[in-house]
Structure 1
């Protein structure tokens, strides 16, 4: 049986897996720095409610075709209508689903929505340099490296660089 991915808005009923994921050091290692401090149910609930009620950003839950339980979430934040740009993010918290190509698939789906639904011209992201799997997924989805932020992230008691990557509408149209 071939399992595929679909995206849909998150609801309050989808919060439960986040309690486990956000308390898993490996799952949050290269994610949003905020995740490092969200470790109580109350903290996670407050953050999660702000995410699902956020109409300024494009947030979607990531679901397997055979399940109503999310494996993560992704979207575009910091959207500028004036400049027609936004910042891509993805978090696959269910480590059982890592390494299956879902990151590339979801990235392509969100990029498509960014250009088709949100009418953006540029979608960028930042990624920790040691996060090789993510960099590969982003390149496979058409993102290009455009810069480096030196020692911009502190994990495992050391600093590492973050890469700035982007894809433009005219590059997306030809992929």
Structure 2
């Protein structure tokens, strides 16, 4: 059974969880490259305030429904209203919640919001090739492989490829 989650806008008070998550090498291993350098409270505060105040992107906190505990955030960035497209992202910082199907749930909810609320036609993402669980979750959510950016990510003292995946509104079923 899937863990019940709620997606809602982040508030400034939600920053405290990120202090732990962004200093956890395993949590940030395949996430936003910026996270590799956000390791002080001041740097995290500055970044987080920009996320909370960002009206150009669709950012949502991922909360456990039974306890209202923040476990990560997800959304769509780089939105082009002219081209009706955006880029999906997800970060589950609470490692205790990994492997419970939450990422798949969140992906489905955010994609639905992208097509229904934001009126997008295309939602793309990039994912580190060694992040097998994410690739599987995105494929299960209907994302299709479109290409590969060779040696586009540097982690663990080596380069690896990033995959480009996307889903079109006509391919998506609510």
TM-score of the superposition, structure 2-length normalised? 0.97
Q: Distance in 2 between matches of 1:56 and 1:95?
A: 29
Q: Distance in 2 between matches of 1:129 and 1:3?
A: 26
Aligned residue pairs, count: 174
Q: Name the counterpart of 2:69.
A: 69
Q: Name the counterpart of 2:161.
A: 161
Q: Name the counterpart of 1:113.
A: 113
- Measured after TM superposition, the shift of residue 2 of structure 1 is 6.9
Q: Deviations over 1:13-36 (max 9, x none)?
A: 111110000000000000000000
SS in 2 for 1:108: helix
Q: Name the counterpart of 1:4.
A: 4
Q: Deviations over 1:87-120 (max 9, x none)?
A: 0000000000000000000000000000000000
Runs of 4+ in 1 over 4 A off after TM superposition: none
Q: Deviations over 1:110-162 (max 9, x none)?
A: 00000000000000000000001111111111101110000000000000000
Structure 1 unaligned regions, length at least 5: none
Q: Name the counterpart of 1:136.
A: 136
Q: Is the 8 A contact 2:2 2:100 kept in 1?
A: no
Which stretch shifts more, 2-11 or 102-111?
2-11
Report whether the alignment pairs 1:18 with 2:18.
Answer: yes
Q: Is the 8 A contact 1:151 1:160 kept in 2?
A: yes
Report whether the alignment pairs 1:60 with 2:60.
Answer: yes
Q: Is the 8 A contact 1:19 1:44 kept in 2?
A: yes
Q: Distance in 1 between matches of 2:27 and 2:34?
A: 13
Structure 2 unaligned regions, length at least 5: none
Report whether the alignment pairs 1:38 with 2:38.
Answer: yes
- Measured after TM superposition, the shift of residue 68 of structure 1 is 2.3
Q: Distance in 2 between matches of 1:2 and 1:90?
A: 17
Q: Is the 8 A contact 2:107 2:138 kept in 1?
A: yes
